[in-house]
Structure 1
Amino acid sequence: MKMLINAAIAAGFTIVGAAGTVFAEYPTKPITVVVPYGPGGAADLAARIIGNEATEYLGEAVLVVNQTGAAGVTGSTMVAKGPKDGHQVLMSRVGSQATVPAMNETIPYTWDEFTMLGIVELNPFAIAVAADSPYQTFEDLAAALKGDEKLTYSSAGVGTLLHMASLIVIDDLGVSSDAHIHVPFKGGGNATAAVISGNADFIFHNLSGLIGGIESGQLRALVVTTPERVDRIPETPTATEVGHPNLNTVVGWSGVWGPGGMDQEAVDTWVATLESLKNDESWNAATAELGSIPTVMSPEETRAFVEQQFNTFRVVADKLGMVVR
């Protein structure tokens, strides 16, 4: 009964005088959620949780399809240029929807041409060093970055969010981008291992990718990009606490996007569905289990949040001459 009631609410209906009830038509078939990255990653897992839980509110099956390529651009383009009826939506991510558009103006879409239905989760970032690192606090690391010694920082590759994140730290400290050495790896896991093994001095990475090393004692977190301290690492200060609130723009996220000009009925249905998930215990528990923070934003809040992040990335990329035009 709950499924039927919620499906009807999500789909919406109007009473038309004596003619009776006229039910809205969306959705009329299964909905495809396009993931612009491969299976098993953060975007894929978030999409599958949405698929499992949102079906109850949408009244139709939700199918997850991985459309990889070009750092998320291939799958994102598929949705941006696809049908507007709401039966194909995007599992958006910070990389494909903010970082890449900020650094590359030649891709087939802009950051703001999508219909932003809502961010659904945040993936805070943390700066971490090896457990035996001489840098005990963020202030220690900041002093070293401002000094004469060349430090090394690891990332998942040139132009990735992890790379951009470290450049934002260095820039926020008023230090030249070439004052320290970038060590790129294939993937965040290898980049994290480099810090643990002493082959890089620090990393600025998704907390979900660091938490295992932190809790096992292999890594020390120096700062986290959340408004409040994280329960699992309560001793780690926030970026605001250490006097660098600009670092709070470095945060991963997942959201549900449609193409620009998406059918309004489909928009309303998805917004209502995401609002329902906000109070859904099963969805909240599954999202938190991944190390993410369940955070459902309205379309308006989402657009403002992404715009601020895009602008931050663009300023840094412009300053470093990294924008492809």
Structure 2
Amino acid sequence: MKFAASRGALTAIGCALSLSFVPAVAAEFPAKPVTLVVPQGPGSGSDVTARLLATHMGSALGQTVVVDNRTGAGGIIAHQSVTRSPSDGYTLLFTSTAQLLVVPAINPAARYSLDDFVPVAPVLRASFAVLVANTPGAPKTVKELVDMLRVKPSAFASAGVGTMTHLGSEIFLRRAGVTATHVPYRGSGAALTDLMGGQVLFATDSLTASMPHIRSGKLRALAVTVDKREPSLPEVPTLAEAGLPGEPISVIGGIFAPKGTPRDVAEKLGKAAEVALRNPDLVARFAASETDVLRIGNAEFIGQLRKETPFWTNLVRQLDIKPE
């Protein structure tokens, strides 16, 4: 009887000990703060968007989402740091076409690809426009711009070699069958300033960067590069409407996790992102910066990125773009 009592006591103690470990082993995700890595620095457009997402995702998750700006090497540092992170959902990446697809095509030091990540949530699409100075002598239509390029050598500005602004103009030139000299700057601000000043003939840049100058009357948009007209520029045709059809030129971006992240964890994070993207404050901020919320599913999102990967890779190789 004494032995039976002792064995019962031991069993009770064992059960109590095992139960005490249940919360630690089976704690529901997330049990600690989530980190959202951003390849751009504080104050950048991507950083502002990421912080809005982090705030509203944190509310939906019931846990803090911390933005971590990891800059350098055109986004390589941020992307590779996430690929080396545990696949547990606690480290995420906010990225888009340029850093995710174009940089690895340009720079062999970028040891990552789309296959190293799983999509958590599509977030945004940013449109571009073909731009000229709003002066009497500048072209007023895409046809006039193309005709001018055929007659005499001219130059176009970009935010830097291999940027989307550079590649966008190269695509435009190829569709039009004309050439122009590339003048790279350090960022869209300097490029658009010289465009307004007449140092270059045209540029292809985002509406986020160019819309303040369009509204002020210093720049003229000749065409938007997506497949339908922009609500903020209803009178501006698409490139296809202007006679240069082809795939839309835009940046799409979203939130990703390291490959191997459990599906249920990725889905929970994705649902939190969906809640954030319905927040009126965030939607208004997107609209103010001429950015669209990308309302598609993860399957369509990753499918679009897979479709675009060879396009950007081939364009970079054809242009023989090297890392600076």
TM-score (norm 1): 0.86
2:22 aligns to what? none
Is the CA contact 1:68–1:74 (under 8 Å) kept in the aligned structure 2? yes
1:28 aligns to what? 31
2:307 aligns to what? 308
1:59 aligns to what? 62
Tell me whether 1:141 sits opposite 2:140 in the alignment.
Answer: no
SS in 2 for 1:246: coil
Per the TM alignment, residue 247 of structure 1 is displaced from its structure 2 partner at its CA by 5.1
Alignment CA distance shift 1:79-1:291 (3 Å): same
Per the TM alignment, residue 289 of structure 1 is displaced from its structure 2 partner at its CA by 2.4
1:285 aligns to what? 284
2:256 aligns to what? 257
1:129 aligns to what? 132
Rounded Cα–Cα distance in structure 1 between residues aligned with 2:115 and 2:198 = 40
Identity level (%)? 30
Rounded Cα–Cα distance in structure 2 between residues aligned with 1:171 and 1:103 = 20
Q: Count matched residues.
A: 298
1:273 aligns to what? 272
Per the TM alignment, residue 323 of structure 1 is displaced from its structure 2 partner at its CA by 6.3
SS in 1 for 2:264: helix
Rounded Cα–Cα distance in structure 2 between residues aligned with 1:150 and 1:261 = 51
- Equivalence map 1:1-325=2 (5 Å): 25-132=28-135, 133-145=137-149, 147-175=150-178, 179-246=179-246, 248=248, 250-322=249-321
What is the root-mean-square deviation of aligned Cα atoms in Å?
2.0
Aligned residue type for 2:314: V
Per the TM alignment, residue 200 of structure 1 is displaced from its structure 2 partner at its CA by 0.9
Rounded Cα–Cα distance in structure 2 between residues aligned with 1:199 and 1:224 = 22
Rounded Cα–Cα distance in structure 1 between residues aligned with 2:199 and 2:312 = 27
Per the TM alignment, residue 109 of structure 1 is displaced from its structure 2 partner at its CA by 0.4
Aligned residue type for 1:298: G
Aligned residue type for 2:289: L
Is the CA contact 2:56–2:275 (under 8 Å) kept in the aligned structure 1? no
Higher mean alpha-carbon deviation, 61-70 vs 291-300, is at: 291-300
Higher mean alpha-carbon deviation, 204-213 vs 255-264, is at: 255-264
Question: Per-residue CA shift, 1:162-198, capped at 9, x if unaligned?
Answer: 11111111122234xxx32111111110001010000
1:7 aligns to what? none
Per the TM alignment, residue 62 of structure 1 is displaced from its structure 2 partner at its CA by 0.9
Rounded Cα–Cα distance in structure 1 between residues aligned with 2:239 and 2:300 = 21
Rounded Cα–Cα distance in structure 1 between residues aligned with 2:207 and 2:144 = 20
Higher mean alpha-carbon deviation, 281-290 vs 85-94, is at: 281-290
Per the TM alignment, residue 254 of structure 1 is displaced from its structure 2 partner at its CA by 2.7
Moved over 6 A (4+): none
Rounded Cα–Cα distance in structure 2 between residues aligned with 1:208 and 1:247 = 20
Per the TM alignment, residue 258 of structure 1 is displaced from its structure 2 partner at its CA by 0.8
Aligned residue type for 1:266: V
2:12 aligns to what? none
SS in 1 for 2:43: coil
Question: Per-residue CA shift, 1:207-234, capped at 9, x if unaligned?
Answer: 1100011000000001112332222221
Rounded Cα–Cα distance in structure 2 between residues aligned with 1:29 and 1:221 = 47
Rounded Cα–Cα distance in structure 1 between residues aligned with 2:40 and 2:216 = 29
Is the CA contact 2:53–2:277 (under 8 Å) kept in the aligned structure 1? no
SS in 1 for 2:157: strand
Is the CA contact 1:29–1:60 (under 8 Å) kept in the aligned structure 2? yes
Question: Per-residue CA shift, 1:244-302, capped at 9, x if unaligned?
Answer: 34251x21233101111112222111222233334332321222222211123322111
SS in 2 for 1:99: helix
Is the CA contact 1:33–1:88 (under 8 Å) kept in the aligned structure 2? yes
Is the CA contact 2:122–2:295 (under 8 Å) kept in the aligned structure 1? yes
Rounded Cα–Cα distance in structure 2 between residues aligned with 1:104 and 1:219 = 33
Is the CA contact 1:125–1:251 (under 8 Å) kept in the aligned structure 2? yes
Higher mean alpha-carbon deviation, 237-246 vs 187-196, is at: 237-246
Larger Rg: 2
SS in 2 for 1:112: helix
Rounded Cα–Cα distance in structure 2 between residues aligned with 1:121 and 1:24 = 32
Unmatched segments (≥5 aa) in structure 1: 1-22
